[in-house]
Structure 1
Amino acid sequence: MMILRRYMLLHMCWLLFVFPTLLHGQHKEIGRLKSQLPHIGDSVTYVDALNRLAAVYQACQLDSCGRYASIARDMAVRIGYHAGKARALRNLGNYYTLRPHRYLSYLFYNDALEESRKAGDSVNVSQVLMNIGIYHYFTGKQASANDYVAQSLKLTRELKEDSLHALGLGNYYAINYTDSSARAAATKALQEAIILAEQYRDIRELLYIRLLLANEDYVAERFDAAKQRVRQVLDTAIRDGFEYYAMRASMELSEYKSRLGEPDSLVFLQDAVTHGVAGGYVGLLLPQVTQLYHYFQQQKDTLQAARYSRIALNIMQQQQDDMQQGEMDYIAYSLQDQTLDSLKMQSDLQKTALQKTRLAQRYWQYLFIFVVAIIMLLMVLTWFLIRSYRSSRLRSMRLARVKTEIAAANEVLKKNDDFKNKLISLIAHDFRTPLHNIIDITGFVNEDILTPEDATGMVMEVEQTATATLTVFEEILSWMRTQLSGFVYRPHSFVLTDMLEVAARNVQHLLREKNIRLELRIPPGLTVQGDFEMLQFVHRNFLHNAIKFSPENGMITIMALRKNGYVEVFFRDQGPGIDPVVLPGLFTYDSESYAHKRTGKGAGLALIICRDFIDKMNGDAGAVNNDKGGSTFFYRVPEIDV
């Protein structure tokens, strides 16, 4: 009886390790999964749903479990889904375990383990290892069983799968609790499993752990406590549709009552058969069905005896069918072995023939190898000479390139130094002029040479000159900031007319001096994208340049238009135009041609800065001579509508 009870516990271990996270309420879960199947379009998700259904059915309807597992396996093989195939094979292994056909289940478990490792499914690997360990226990290989269980426990611990780990600890207890040398470790494992099971509150884990606790009470001869725990498991299993657990709990109660000489042991045994038939687990009940048949035969109850006789015949027929299925699998494996043996024999014959051929051709091979070695030596020598020549040539080319780069860098440094000197000269000149004017006016005032009206006019002129000089200085400082590596261009949108009117007000005194008329031909609302100070620097310098070279009573025209996503702005004057020799390099710095440019002192540098600003705003600047005299300076920048 003790051995029978251990087998009963291990069958429950096997079943529970199939799917440890089953939800409360079997029929609701089954109905939900079935309703989802027609709406699943992804094949992988469909296989997962089939495996889930197979796992859910294992505790309540074994035939449905096998059917869905087979469908899942076939579909997973067809689409090459290794993880789904591994779970389906594990479900089939558990199905045949409960038929029972243990060897066939072992074959499926081995396949499931291989597929799980291919798919990298460590959780499934841990479950299959535990299943194989229980199989080895059933076949009397205690050491192998403990080895597989230890591997499973180590893996669940590394994966931090506490729920699976609790089940593994329970299985360890079920395998080892009768071994006196492992009794203490088994009891400790059960206590740890209790803590984890209470933490996760999974209904199937709790049922399993309670049956193990009942077994512990039974072994310790706490019979009332054991019966109470099993009764709780039976009530919960019946309520939630766990036909398998209801069958096992009924068998436990029947055994307790029989051993204690209490009535109703036969009633619980009949209940166990009823639950087993309802769930399709009758293959596990042949001893119990036989016992009931003999009992009713002795009681002359032919009706009940006939009923259990039919059940026994069905069980034996089912076992015969399963054996045939197993024999088919054996034949498949045998054919595979024969094929491998045939291939091995062919390989040995081919090796023998090749060996004879090699002996006959060995002389020629040695000669061929010698000739090839000589040729390769010559090729290596030739390659070395060519490589040496190429290396020497590359070094010469690199040296020449470095010299050219150094010369170019020196030229750039020379131009930059000349540009710096010109820029310092420009700043010094622009600051010297207003300071001299202030000194002269102060001297005139001290000597009473000027009248107050003349002094007032000169002071206003000096103020305008100083203001313009300060503006130029600030613009040069702005340009210097753009040359720093930390400058970040952040464009904004501005109305062009507003900007040009501000720039025109700054040069009104210059326009009045030469009686020059300024005309704006700007479309209303036209906007430009850029930096405000950079654009105004360009506007002021183009205006100053146009005023400087325009004749008295002349006219300056500023026009703008949209073209291909850009705004183009033109400053047209009526001056003498630009020397065609100077025109191509007007916006670039060249120390040799700088003195020949159209512009006056410092203005050439200002145009260079203008060009640099426009480049930073993703635009372009230039100048052309007009057909009827004069010149036109222009720039273009991207447009943004406000």
Structure 2
Amino acid sequence: MLLLFLTRLFLLISLTQPQQKILIQDLKTELDQTEDVTRKIELYCELSKVHKSINPKTTISYGNKAVALAQKAGDDKLLAQAYNETGSGHYLLGDIDKAVQFYYMALRIREKLGDPSDLSASYNNIGNVYADQHNHKEALPLYKKSLSLATTAQDTLRMSSALSNIGGVYLDQGKYDLALVYYREALPIQEGLDDKQGILISLINIGEAYNGKNDYQTALTYFNKAHQIANNLGSPHDEVYVLRGKAESYLKAGKYEKALDNALASMELAKAYEGKYVLKENAAILDRIYAAMGNYEMAHHYLTLHMAYNDSLHNERAADRIAQERVKYETAQKDKENLLLRAEQELNLRKLEQRSIVQYFTVALLLLVCAMAYVFFRGRQHQSRINKLLTQKNELIMHKNEALNQHQKALTEQAQQLNIQKEKLTQLNTIKDKLFSVIAHDLRGPLVALKGLLHVMAMGKVPADKQEGLFNSLVKGQQNVLWMLDNLFDWARAQMEGFEADPKPLPLRELADENIRLLQPVASSKDIVLENKIDPNLTGCADKEMVRLVLRNLISNGIKFCKAGDTVTLTAKLKNDFVLVSVKDTGIGITQEVQKKLFGGSSYSSRGTANEKGSGLGLALCKDFVEHNGGSIWVESMPGKGSTFLFTLPHTVKAEEDEDEINTPPSPEETEEKTAEQLQLA
């Protein structure tokens, strides 16, 4: 009965018999194919583990192969696992001497590695050996240490093993209720892992506990559940315990025949793998069954068999071997502690030496710091005196620099003023030169011609038939001079500072008609047609006088470069928030090179189709006036295909400008200035 709960550790998640065969075959196939040494060790350990519930001798065989290969590879973790599996095989066969030897070898390696899960397994296995010797005082602390390590590692499988084994100790002590507490705590963990093997063993253990309480009916319920799982798993090792437990229940119930059948079946299965513990327990229950049935001869036979197995398992050699291994283990632990103590003493001595050196160094450092502090203090005093002198000199220099900066600033301002005045003078000088150039060149010629005509007419030397032609020439010359003077004065006024546009809504068609009437005689003299196609309802917003001059110059320019039969057409249209005005002629056109000079800063003039001259100010003046009113002007032309001059004007006055014009009456000075301008234009 005792071996049942001790074997839990060696069995992992359960497999059915067909699954075990498939798994074993797969492991063997992979073992034959792999060349990796580490993987071979792992496969030997897996094969050793799988055979625990089938044939412990095979477990030992694969375990020894794993040990040899792990020692050769120098892999401590796998060597400890191989020792553990080999010890489990010996334990299942009842060879306690060798089992203890392998368990302690595994423990020594695992303590070096420090893996809590592996340590839990080793402590659990050694606890099993003490429990088998009925040394519960030593077994129970080892099981609880195994449980603590498994909990730390969160290894639920080993937690359930430790709980089952703790319950087994209490079961062996006859504390059945306390044993049931631990068994029932282990069972849910196993069910959560779907650990069929673990569930099977917990059911058997609970049945054993109820047998101990003489509640054989409840015990049989648990044994029957366990028997069904054992058959499904195909595990003869577990079936041995189930049948023996049922035999115990039937014996307590007085059903001797059923008890005998189950006990004999358990005995036959136990003989298959020669488990001494199982054979001993089965012999004991058969002795009791035959004695209850009155068959004392068979009872004596099984009692003798029981004693033989018992002597084989519990001889002094096994106990001595356990004691020897424990002494070796404890001696190794003490040697380790002694080494640690010696190392600690040496470390303390070194710390004392280092502390003395640090103290000497600290004292020397303090003295050095004090010396440096004194030198620094004296240096600071000297530096303070020098800094004070430097500060006084710096203040004096700063005062002088400030005076120099102020003087330099005044000079800079004067230089800026001089530059501004220079620019103004240069600009005025340029205007003056331009005015004198126009007056001397462009005005002198027409005036000299007028003077000659008037002198001839005054002398009465002009025939009557030619007087009308001379009068027309005088009128035409006088008109050209007036237009030239208008352009000249407007251009000069545009160059002055403070010149600004006076934007107001204005009818564009009326302005165009006014200029066409003014220029119609000139156009008629060259047989040129003037057309006004501007919409009467279309208005722009600009300075009326400026726009009148722009239109007059553009129409005059179109007439100048047209031949007889050509046409000058005025059109306008609304585009976004602007009015686009165009003056198109069908004249001789303009080359690209000349187009670049038309709106430049310098004046440019060329003779018309009738050899007309110009001042070169007209288009420049148009550009200034258009831009003053917020618009732009450009030309589109090709030689031989005429020219189109286009300019834009705002369509409406901005709200803020309208409000200012409505609310702010013109000042007397502005009225006088506008009157003066109108007089000059007149």
When normalised by structure 2's length, the TM-score is 0.44
When normalised by structure 1's length, the TM-score is 0.47
Q: Higher Cα Rg: structure 1 or 2?
A: 2
